[in-house]
């Protein structure tokens, strides 16, 4: 009898324990879900690491959230976003605007919906640069900095040109002064550089893609072989014959020539100005003079995007608040722009900039064209850069009209899957 009672008592205890465990199991998930996720993971590059950390932590402190800032190679962020495991994925990334089309098309980033008050703080082109959609365009990134290249003149070696003819004459005169001198130090190299050559391209009335009736970039309208540009392409042949441009000039050759006073005219961006200052060179920054059309540069817009992983991590609302409402602030924009040494995208923040170099690059950006952000741009870079290489390589160069017509045909074939 005693053994039976002990067994029955033990059975009751086991049942009670099981019930307690079931109740605990049912309560535990509810408790864990009641505590919302609040840690936002951000990928940024080395140059902006300190500034992003400072700005993001200030936001986190105000919102009762936390942030984890991860340093990545800027050039790897786009590709890594497509291969990273969800557990290690970022919620927010620093991004270049020309990634927008590809990232939006493959669902890696989500649309943003800033208020009218926020949007009013930015030039329309900076918002358009981060917008994508075949029928309805949506914003996928909050712009923070703008960058472009310009003509830098060593004012001890040459005068700032009044117009294109004046630049051509002065640059060639300097080239002929001494063996090894360059007329215009602009990088190309074996693989070409369509970005640095764009002011010459636009100056000859070239364009990459036209726009459709809705104002969206039209990949069916390739301007590389446009009739007006091809009529002006004979000037490229002239520049090649006289040695004004030479595709053998690489990034390092162009920079060293300017630093060693073997070039009076240099086309580059704000990323090289600290080195120029340290060399003690007195310089002036200006837009490349108008050739036939305005020699406007490509514009690059950097900013922040919210990834598709933020929703899975339970922090999409927080991530959007950080990117849309906090990164757009004048103070945040000023800190981020100073770190990247680029003019801020926010109009009010830009007006507050007192850096003469950044302001000069801003003036040189007038009329600039944001690099096309649609996926079809991948078919353009190597072909357009290659056409410049073939037509400016000195003796034996391909006629520019032929080189660019061929490039245009190849671009159309690539876009059409041929």
* Pick from 17-31, 334-348, 350-364: least confident: 17-31
The predicted-structure confidence for 265-296, as pLDDT tens digits, reads as follows: 999 999 999 999 999 999 999 999 999 999 99
pLDDT value for 4: 33
Over range 193-210, report the average pLDDT. 98
Q: Report whether pLDDT(12) > 60.
A: no
The predicted-structure confidence for 225-257, as pLDDT tens digits, reads as follows: 999 999 999 999 999 999 999 999 999 999 999
pLDDT value for 35: 55
Question: Per CATH, which fold does 150-296+380-415 belong to?
Answer: D-Maltodextrin-Binding Protein; domain 2 (3.40.190)
Report residue 22's pLDDT band, with 50, 70 and 90 as the boundaries: very low
Dihedral (Cα; 128, 132, 136, 142), 10-degree rounding: -50
Q: 88: burial class by Cβ within 10 Å (0-12, 13-18, 19+)?
A: exposed
The CATH code for residues 39-147+300-364 is 3.40.190.10
Question: In the chain, where are the structural domains located?
Answer: 39-147+300-364, 150-296+380-415
Cα distance between residue 264 and residue 71, in whole Å: 37
Cα distance between residue 306 and residue 153, in whole Å: 40
Higher pLDDT, 7 or 91: 91
In this structure, how many other beta carbons lie within 10 angstroms of the beta carbon of residue 27?
10
pTM of the model: 0.87
Among residues 128, 142, 126, which one has the least CA distance to residue 42? Answer: 142
Cα distance between residue 46 and residue 74, in whole Å: 8
Q: Report whether pLDDT(34) > 80.
A: no
The predicted-structure confidence for 131-150, as pLDDT tens digits, reads as follows: 999 778 999 999 999 999 99
39-147+300-364 shares its CATH topology with 150-296+380-415: yes
Q: Three-state SS for 217?
A: strand
Report residue 418's pLDDT band, with 50, 70 and 90 as the boundaries: low
In this structure, how many other beta carbons lie within 10 angstroms of the beta carbon of residue 54?
15
Q: Report whether pLDDT(31) > 70.
A: no
Q: 365: burial class by Cβ within 10 Å (0-12, 13-18, 19+)?
A: buried
Cα distance between residue 112 and residue 124, in whole Å: 15
């Amino acid at each position: 009898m005693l053994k039976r009672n002990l067994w029955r008592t033990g059975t009751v205890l086991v049942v009670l324990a099981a019930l307690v465990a079931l109740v605990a199991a049912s309560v535990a998930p509810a408790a864990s879900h009641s505590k919302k996720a609040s840690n936002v993971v951000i990928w940024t590059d080395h140059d902006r690491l300190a500034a992003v950390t400072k700005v993001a932590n200030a936001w986190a402190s105000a919102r009762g959230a936390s942030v984890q800032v991860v340093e990545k190679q800027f050039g790897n962020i786009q590709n890594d976003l497509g291969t990273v495991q969800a557990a290690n994925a970022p919620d927010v990334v620093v991004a270049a605007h020309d990634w927008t089309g590809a990232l939006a098309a493959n669902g890696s980033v989500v649309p943003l919906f800033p208020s009218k008050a926020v949007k009013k703080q930015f030039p329309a082109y900076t918002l358009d640069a981060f917008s994508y959609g075949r029928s309805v365009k949506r914003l996928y990134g909050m712009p923070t900095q703008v960058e472009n290249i310009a003509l830098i003149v060593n004012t001890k070696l040459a005068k700032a040109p009044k117009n294109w003819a004046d630049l051509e004459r002065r640059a060639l005169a300097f080239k002929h002064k001494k063996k090894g001198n360059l007329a215009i130090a602009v990088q190309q190299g074996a693989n070409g550089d369509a970005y640095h050559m764009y002011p010459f391209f636009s100056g000859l009335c070239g364009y990459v893609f036209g726009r459709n009736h809705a104002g969206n970039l039209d990949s069916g309208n390739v301007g590389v072989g446009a009739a007006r540009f091809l009529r002006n392409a004979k000037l490229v042949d002239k520049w090649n014959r006289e040695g004004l441009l030479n595709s053998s000039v690489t990034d390092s050759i162009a920079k060293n020539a300017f630093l060693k006073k073997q070039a009076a005219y240099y086309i580059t961006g704000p990323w090289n100005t600290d080195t120029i200052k340290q060399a003690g060179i007195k310089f002036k920054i200006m837009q490349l003079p108008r050739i036939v059309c305005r020699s406007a540069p490509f514009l690059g817009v950097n900013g922040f995007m919210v990834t598709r992983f933020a929703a899975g991590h339970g922090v999409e609302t927080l991530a959007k608040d950080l990117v849309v409402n906090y990164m757009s602030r004048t103070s945040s924009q000023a800190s981020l722009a100073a770190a990247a040494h680029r003019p801020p995208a926010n109009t009010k923040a830009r007006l507050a900039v007192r850096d003469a170099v950044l302001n000069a690059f801003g003036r040189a950006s007038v009329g600039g064209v944001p690099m096309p952000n649609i996926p079809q741009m991948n078919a353009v870079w190597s072909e357009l850069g290659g056409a410049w290489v073939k037509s400016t390589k000195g003796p034996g160069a391909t006629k520019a009209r032929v080189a660019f017509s061929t490039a245009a045909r190849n671009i159309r074939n690539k876009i059409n899957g041929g």
